[in-house]
Amino acid sequence: MIDYLLQNKKLSVRVAIGIVIITVLSILWTNVIRTPAYLVIVDGKKAFVVKHKSDVEEALLSLQEQQAEQIKSKLELGNQIDYRRTFASRGDVISGDELEKALRKTVNFKMLAGALIVDGKTIAYLESKAEAEKLLKKLKEEYTAVDEGEKLISVDFAEKVAVAEKSVNSAKVMSFDEAYQLITTGTDKPEKYIVKEGDNLWLIARRNDMYVDDIMRANKLTSENLQIGDELILVKSQPYINVVAKVEGEKIETIPFETKTEISSSASGVRIKQEGRNGEKKIVYVATKVNGVIEEREVKEETILKEAVTRILVKGNQVTVASRGGGGGTLDWPAYGPITCYYGRGHTGLDIGAKAGSAIKAADSGTVTFAGWQGGYGNFIIVNHGNGLITRYAHCASISVSKGQQVARGQVLGTVGSTGRSTGPHLHFEVLSGGSFQNPLNYLR
């Protein structure tokens, strides 16, 4: 029995010694005894070690094929690869997936791309020069759609735009749609602003047509208190390329009626002596459109088709008209829908949850002083009603009036949309009196 145990113990010892020897040998085999291999040098830098040169060539081919699936152009290796014979421990030699991963980190593929150059700076790389040219053509076509009665005179880019062929890292090449998106929406271009005496966030937001919330977020502000000299970053989105089209056109426009008030000592209250009626005129104009929106319009000819009839009110001199909140309920609702966000607490207007595409109507007669794209406000319209009263309409899907145009109360200005910084279709409606924001509900009747 003891013999047996002794023998068994001897056996265990032998097995153990065997294992140790094998382990030591395998460690020596992979780490100490060196094998002939190739050191791969990428752009003059030692990168990794392989057994055969062909391993690298195969892995490169595989990588190239993976990229070429997305890009149709011919890809070329962008790096200089050299090999040096060496002896390496087997543990350092890589192959297969490991080799592909290492290559992905160290090499890049170059291709002849179409560079889109705006004012001397390359903005985007497309797959070819032809693709870049196609994009410019699409931009021009998109923004030269003329309205009824309009004729296109000329179309140009506001910027100096050029296309060139350039060899570039294939990872930098964009698809047509990606590039189009980038060019038309632009990037958020940051602008520095130094806080001056008398400034507050609302004022700065209003002057730059931004939201207070956006300024606070962009500057990581925790309170609305500003110090003179504080530096703020204002972020405004601007397209990289702007299409300027000149058009000639004619159309029929409304002549809004005027209201005259006569004071009479014999009257009491307010009485309408004569109903007002809008007139009509035919105009011939030349206009400059930037990205499809009229920026400037010059009326060349005007023919009155129907004169407007002045509304005449007779007001007793003893009586003052009841008014609410200073505004006096003088404005018409510009759109119909539930109120989705009230005025106040940094919200400069009233949000009316009207259906997308429904009409936005002028709250009162006045003159359009702005109609076009304005950063976070998207498509934006401003109407000046005189006496310091201004109404503003944001996030419009479309705009059907232009700067300088007279509009009548209730005249369609555009349609409800969700352009600019907006989470869904609605009309953001603002009322300003004497340069400061008012609660629109105090003005709407």
Binding site for Zn ion (CB under 5 A): 349, 351, 428
* Residues 6 or more apart whose Cβ sits within 8 Å of residue 334: 352, 360, 361, 362, 363, 391, 393, 413, 427, 429
- Token pair of 333 as six digits: 């609702």
* Residues 6 or more apart whose Cβ sits within 8 Å of residue 47: 40, 41, 102, 106
What is the distance between the alpha carbons of residues 158 and 156, in angstroms, rounded to a whole number? 6
In the complex, residue closest to Zn ion by CB: 428
Nearer to Zn ion, 351 or 364 (CB): 351
Q: Is 179 helix (H, G, I), strand (E, B) or coil?
A: helix
Closest contact distance (angstroms) between CB of 140 and Zn ion is: 34
Closest contact distance (angstroms) between CB of 370 and Zn ion is: 17
Nearer to Zn ion, 373 or 437 (CB): 437
Closest contact distance (angstroms) between CB of 343 and Zn ion is: 9
Nearer to Zn ion, 349 or 425 (CB): 349
**Dihedral angle over CA of 176, 181, 183, 185, nearest 10:** 180
* Residues 6 or more apart whose Cβ sits within 8 Å of residue 56: 38, 40, 50, 81, 83, 99, 103
Q: Is 337 exposed, middle or buried (0-12, 13-18, 19+ CB in 10 A)?
A: middle
* Residues 6 or more apart whose Cβ sits within 8 Å of residue 399: 293, 371, 372, 379, 381, 413, 414
Of 185, 178, 75, 187, residue with least CA distance to 135: 178
Nearer to Zn ion, 18 or 344 (CB): 344
Nearer to Zn ion, 349 or 372 (CB): 349
Nearer to Zn ion, 53 or 217 (CB): 217
Closest contact distance (angstroms) between CB of 349 and Zn ion is: 5
What is the distance between the alpha carbons of residues 78 and 387, in angstroms, rounded to a whole number? 67
Nearer to Zn ion, 49 or 205 (CB): 205
Nearer to Zn ion, 109 or 437 (CB): 437
Q: Is 156 helix (H, G, I), strand (E, B) or coil?
A: strand
**Dihedral angle over CA of 430, 433, 436, 437, nearest 10:** -30
Q: What separation, in Å, do the N-terminal and C-terminal C-alpha atoms of the chain show?
A: 112
Task: Please name the helix (run of DSSP H) or strand (run of DSSP E) that holds residue 392, with its range, or none.
Answer: strand 389-396
What is the distance between the alpha carbons of residues 67 and 254, in angstroms, rounded to a whole number? 59
Q: Taking phi first (over 0 means left), then psi (-120 to 50 degrees means alpha), and beta for anything else, what does residue 38 get?
A: beta
Nearer to Zn ion, 285 or 393 (CB): 393
Residue 148 sits at φ, ψ, to 5 deg, of: -60, 135
Closest contact distance (angstroms) between CB of 430 and Zn ion is: 8
- Token pair of 21 as six digits: 């020897």
Closest contact distance (angstroms) between CB of 288 and Zn ion is: 30
Q: How many CB atoms lie within 10 A of CB 226?
A: 18
Closest contact distance (angstroms) between CB of 385 and Zn ion is: 20
Closest contact distance (angstroms) between CB of 214 and Zn ion is: 12
Residue 326 sits at φ, ψ, to 5 deg, of: 85, -30
Closest contact distance (angstroms) between CB of 344 and Zn ion is: 11
Nearer to Zn ion, 297 or 428 (CB): 428
Nearer to Zn ion, 131 or 351 (CB): 351
Place of tokens 């909140």: 325
Closest contact distance (angstroms) between CB of 383 and Zn ion is: 17
Closest contact distance (angstroms) between CB of 351 and Zn ion is: 4
